[in-house]
Structure 1
Amino acid sequence: MPPRYRAGQQVPASGIYQCDCAEGGHQWSTDVAGPTFPPLPCSGSTWRLRTKTHQQ
């Protein structure tokens, strides 16, 4: 299972992250490595990487 990250933690890798909310799990965020994760848009507690984005 991929690692999970909380809002406010530093984003380890650029990619598309999914909220683990119980409301269907269709809450997504595209994040860039370095800044912190945004607040969760639902009742979930963590973000998890679904797809890495291209990095140069």
Structure 2
Amino acid sequence: MEINLRYGMNPHQRKARIYSADQLPIKILNGEASYINLLDELNAFQLVRELHH
């Protein structure tokens, strides 16, 4: 799976891409995500998993 991001860590950087052999636990519903959006989502996902256990 590949996700094209709006930009890298900062808006002045060129676009970044995330690659994964497996399905990622996210689905972008509207617009393009940035690298920071992806990090925020993955951190939130880990918190939810911890609360679930």
Normalising by structure 1, we get a TM-score of 0.22
Q: Which structure carries more strand by proportion?
A: 1
Q: Which one has more relative contact order, counting CA pairs under 8 Å at least 6 apart? A: 1
* Rg comparison, structure with higher value: 2
> When the two structures are superposed, what TM-score results if normalisation uses the length of structure 2?
0.22
